[in-house]
Amino acid sequence: MEGGSAETNSDRTDSENSEENTSHEYILPGFKTLEEFTEAGLKALMEATRSSNSLPTGQNWDYYTTYPSFKKVMDAEGERVLKLISMVLRHQDIKGNILRRDFEEKFDLIVDANDSILERVGCNLDEISGIRRNPEPVLVEAVSSCTRPVSGSWNQSQSGSLSHSSSSVSQPVRLLAAKNIQRPQIMFKDKIDNSSSPFEPRIKEKPNSLKPLAITLQLSEDGEESFSHPYEFELERFTPPATQLEHAEPRMYNPLQETPLVMVEHADQLPSLLQDLASYSEIAVDMEHHSYRSFQGFTCLLQISTRHTDYIIDALLLRDKLHCLNEVFTKPSIVKVFHGAVHDVEWLQRDLCVYVVNMFDTHEAAKLLNFAKLSLAFLMKHYCSVMADKHFQLADWRIRPLPDELVMYARQDTHYLLYIYDMMKNALLDAANGQKNLLHSVFQQSTEICKTRYEKPILREDSHMLLYRHNKKHFDNRQLHALRELYQWRDKISREDDESTGYVLPNHMMLQIAESLPREMQGILACCNPIPPLVRQNLFALHRIILEARDQPLVKPILAEELGTRVSTQTWIKVNLDGALHCPHDLTHIQDFRDDLPTLLGCASYADQTGSCALKIQKRKPQISLFEAETPEAEVDAVTHVPFICPYERYKRVKPFIQSQEQEAASASTETVGMNGIKQDDDDGEQMQKFTRKRKMFDTQFSSAQPEQGKVDNGEVQSSKRCKLDEHGGDSSSSHCIPQTHNRKRKHGRKEQEEGFQPYDYSKVDFSRFQGGSKISVTNDRNEGKPKVSLNIGNNATRNEKLIQVWKKNPLVTTLQRHIYVKSALVRVQLTT
């Protein structure tokens, strides 16, 4: 019995040893290596794809499903495939039952599951290789010098080689939760200000100044407030030294392993740092920034390299002490070499109160040299033949202590930059054939970058529309309302908790929530994968925003006051009227312009009329003449000659016709006015008839007289005749006699007709004669829009209301002169329009 038990025990131990050996031999059941597993998996996948493609589709599928046996087999296989997929989803912790969904929901669930699985695979691969591509709420932390344990059993064969690697190999990095790192903002002595107020510089001292420190509040072109740049006066008057504009022999960089590295983590190291930097004429500068767990972001590292030493300054620990670097950074004799310093300059102002004077940006130099790429990695490969490792470009630089990989990455950014500066400066001089204009341009562009001022992010009413346009979505009024409210909520939470907007609620999740407008709170969480922590904490506030958006109308109503304040959207094209290229007949800028319309040079009918398609542009004589000498009418061709008549000749030819028309109109108006006046003045009608007869007799006698006598005695005859008429009227109060000049004007008119029209010389006129006499201006009461009328009455005349009614009721003519005897007084009335 004892011997049998011993044998059984030995058999058991042998079987256990054999199982352990087989477990060591196979990394997966049935597969010894990972390559065998992947080959078998790809082979099975290919066969499954080939089989699925061989199944009937379309009308053929409908035809085959009419057979009960085929339909039964397909249903059984479909159920088995769905069960396998459900098992895979449960294994990957993906919620959702694929068996109880319709076809479209099943397809969407499979797509989401594939995205989640592939994302997890990518994260695991990055974890194994020691990098992290996408910034997520997980942190990178350095590990001790011991070998990092690998979770995958398939990598055990390589563990031995890793353990025997030299100490110079960089240590891997593993991912931990965010709670393992304390937020650096808590230790900052200066309070973080995330309000919408303008950023105010905190600089207290201004070394290397040409003007005392003065920070004033200014208004930008958009009407926004901002503080002035402390070194704006110095930057406007900066010119690079002559030694920096000359061709120089490039100084080769020292090997990275032979260059000393100094980690500046204490304030007592800063004086020696400043002393060393001040002894050089050029230094290289770079920065590392973190913005995922902060609203505005903050500077984590500051790298400075000289020709012999590399410095890495901890900007988190020495944040309030690094303003002393202004003694070097604002010194005009020291050139500061940056690469892509647009953001670096703003971060220096915001976090360290450091400003830059005399900067050379290699990014701007690469633009002028027309390089294929403008990145620092390309310049390092082009000039130094060094392949830069950019895997840690998005690393979390808050990690303390820094891993060796991050230290090496930060050191490389500035170690080769001074040699690149020497090579690019010589290349700019050679490209300009020895001239300094290109080099001056780089310094000028770099100086403009130094003038930039940091500005806080500001929330406006239409800030969400920029995100909406970039994603090319088509939202209705409800969805736009939800997007605006979500955007404002995210901005508020980010400012209060000092978190980035991407950490609070990423853009693609916010667009998904605004587009779907879920009715339940679980629907909001379903739109987020993974669910941000602050979204889960503020779920009730988000649900209230969605419910409010669902109550909005689909189409936004337009209020009456909005219609009045709307501005026309018509765009006007600016035209330079003084430009040499401006042509008023150029209509190519019009939208409905057509270039296929017939023209004189391209018209076929015109070419047929002329007899040949080729028109002769150059001619000896003009086709239409205006100023040539007059020819007999028989010789004038009506097509080729157009007589020119000046405006004055036209006036002379038309003047007789106009005079005849005016005389006819005046006679007709005179008769009308006379008849109306007689009818309205019944008491004086008989006296007016007597006066008219006597006046006609007087005119007849006066016109028969000789011109010489008329010239001499005209005034006497008229005055005597007028006095006799006054005596006959029996009005003793009318003692003034009005001279008559009617015949004189008639004779003068005959003389003009005989001699022809002569222009009148107004220089000999005595204008003082027109200032006498009384004038009464009367307006038409019936229609205020009609022209005013002036009534000129001779001396010692009385105003008569009936006279006013006469010319009020009748339309006014161009010039009307009548002599009306009213109440035994001779009155001369002139009505003019």
Instruction: Say if CB 317 and CB 292 are below 8 A apart.
Output: no
For residue 135, name the pLDDT band (cuts at 50, 70, 90). Answer: very low
**Residue pLDDT, tens place only, 466-477:** 999 988 888 999
Classify the C-alpha dihedral 408-410-413-418 as positive or negative.
negative
Query: pLDDT: is 494 or 673 the higher one?
Result: 494
3-class DSSP state for residue 641?
Answer: strand
Domain ranges in the chain are: 1-52, 55-129, 186-450, 463-553, 661-753+771-832
First-to-last C-alpha distance (Å) of the chain = 154
3-class DSSP state for residue 550?
Answer: helix
Alpha helices, DSSP H only, in 26-102?
Answer: 34-53, 59-64, 68-91
DSSP string, 249-266: PPPPPPPTTTS-EEEE-S
Q: Is the pLDDT of residue 821 over 60?
A: no
Euclidean distance between CA atoms 83 and 99, whole angstroms: 8
Q: Is the pLDDT of residue 340 over 50?
A: yes
The closest of 555, 538, 434 to 489, measured between CA atoms, is: 538
For residue 726, name the pLDDT band (cuts at 50, 70, 90). Answer: very low
Instruction: Say if CB 201 and CB 353 are below 8 A apart.
Output: yes
The amino acid sitting at 66 is T
Q: Are strands 310-314 and 261-264 parallel, antiparallel or unpaired?
A: parallel
For residue 777, name the pLDDT band (cuts at 50, 70, 90). Answer: very low
Instruction: Say if CB 111 and CB 144 are below 8 A apart.
Output: no
Residue 180 main-chain phi, psi, to 5 deg: -80, -10
Instruction: Say if CB 452 and CB 235 are below 8 A apart.
Output: no
DSSP secondary structure code for residue 93 in this structure: T
Q: Is the pLDDT of residue 55 over 50?
A: yes
CA dihedral 702, 706, 707, 713 (to 10 degrees): -60
CA distances from 487 to 192, 456, 484 (A): 22, 17, 5
Euclidean distance between CA atoms 291 and 501, whole angstroms: 10
Instruction: Say if CB 543 and CB 524 are below 8 A apart.
Output: yes
Euclidean distance between CA atoms 304 and 286, whole angstroms: 7
Q: What is the helix (H) or strand (E) element at residue 789, kind and residue range?
A: strand 789-793
Residue 777 main-chain phi, psi, to 5 deg: -95, 125
Q: What is the helix (H) or strand (E) element at residue 287, kind and residue range?
A: strand 282-290
pLDDT of res. 736: 42
pLDDT of res. 275: 95
CATH number of 186-450: 3.30.420.10
The amino acid sitting at 209 is S
Instruction: Say if CB 737 and CB 722 are below 8 A apart.
Output: yes
CA dihedral 600, 602, 603, 606 (to 10 degrees): 60
* Residues constituting the chain: 833
- The whole-number average pLDDT for the span 332-347 is 95
Fold adopted by 463-553: DNA polymerase; domain 1 (1.10.150)
Residue 483: Cβ-neighbour burial (10 angstroms; 0-12, 13-18, 19+) = buried
Euclidean distance between CA atoms 148 and 128, whole angstroms: 10
Euclidean distance between CA atoms 44 and 42, whole angstroms: 5
117: Cβ contacts below 8 Å, ≥ 6 apart: 92
Query: pLDDT: is 671 or 710 the higher one?
Result: 671
Q: What percent of the chain stands above pLDDT 90?
A: 37
Query: pLDDT: is 199 or 596 the higher one?
Result: 199
Tokens encoding 222: 């958009």
The closest of 340, 336, 341, 343 to 374, measured between CA atoms, is: 340
- The whole-number average pLDDT for the span 264-293 is 94
Euclidean distance between CA atoms 572 and 334, whole angstroms: 50
DSSP secondary structure code for residue 154 in this structure: G
Look up the pTM and report it.
0.51
Tokens encoding 190: 């200066």
